[in-house]
Amino acid sequence: MSALEEWVGREQVEEDLINLATARGMAALLDREPGAIAEGSPLPECWHWLYFKPLVRQSQIGEDGHPLRGGFLPPVTLPRRMWAGGRLRFHRPLVVGERATKRSRILSVTEKEGRSGKLVFVTVGHLVEGPAGPAVEDEQDIVYRDATRTGEPVAQGEPAQAEALWSETVLPNEVALFRYSALMFNGHRIHYDHAYVTQVEGYPGLVVHGPLTATLMLEAATRHEKRVALLYRYRGLAPLFSGELITLAGRTNGDGGTEVWAAGPAGRVAMRGTVEWTR
């Protein structure tokens, strides 16, 4: 067993208030009427990512803007970190104004060798509970990568594998990314520091947050299907960037679920997912 694998099974418990200001802030970011959300409103799916913020002292923040490694998450030395995908099961909505608990556990740590160098995948399982019991089961896959190599191309995604039955577009800009980072208390510099993301991490522009893209995908699918999500699986394939048009698209699959994807301006799919709905 490697030293990193010794982190498997590590647990932590956090508590938070599902406060009104944060929920209204997300509504404003999505160009909705903030006042439509009140104490007692159900929290939309994936908005739990706005809570249980990483309240780490400033002296414990690393060069990339994330908390220094070796606390709850294993001390991976690879410099680049991305939210690669995950799986969600929705039991019931959290309610604005209630207190909630998140129980987290390191499920696996896997080291691999990819085309761009070393990779470490860390899967973390979370259970978010409110006074009425479990609300969300949330598994997240985090990938750590080697530093950018000179001339290394940025992943371009893949072609859509099916014809969309519906689509819509969204154009995230620098202000939208900054506001989302602020709502999450997310200090990762790839989302707001242009000099850092281009000169250190080698991307052509500010990177759209993986959880923001996943949220937009599920909300688009919910609007078009007019159903309530039960299971949601999503996987990142390539980064999306500030100021570039994102197309959210989907179609019903043969199992009665929905395939959904997010494509960049060239039509290449950067994130794809599947939704299973309550009956």
Residues 6+ apart with CB under 8 A from 26: 47, 50, 183
> For the chain, which residues make up each domain, given as ranges?
4-277
DSSP classification of residue 146: P
Are the C-beta atoms of 129 and 135 separated by less than 8 Å? Answer: yes
pLDDT at 1: 46
pLDDT at 151: 63
pLDDT at 205: 95
Sheet holding 133-145, edge to edge: 11-17, 99-114, 117-130, 133-145, 80-90, 229-236, 269-277, 258-263, 246-252, 166-170
Q: Where are the alpha helices (DSSP H) in the chain?
A: 20-29, 174-184, 194-199, 210-225
Q: Which residue bears the tokens 């995948």?
A: 121
Please give the class, per CATH, of domain 4-277: alpha beta
Are the C-beta atoms of 21 and 35 separated by less than 8 Å? Answer: no
Q: Which residue bears the tokens 């709850």?
A: 72
pLDDT less than 70: residues of the chain = 1, 116, 149-152
pLDDT at 161: 74
pLDDT at 34: 97
pLDDT at 113: 80
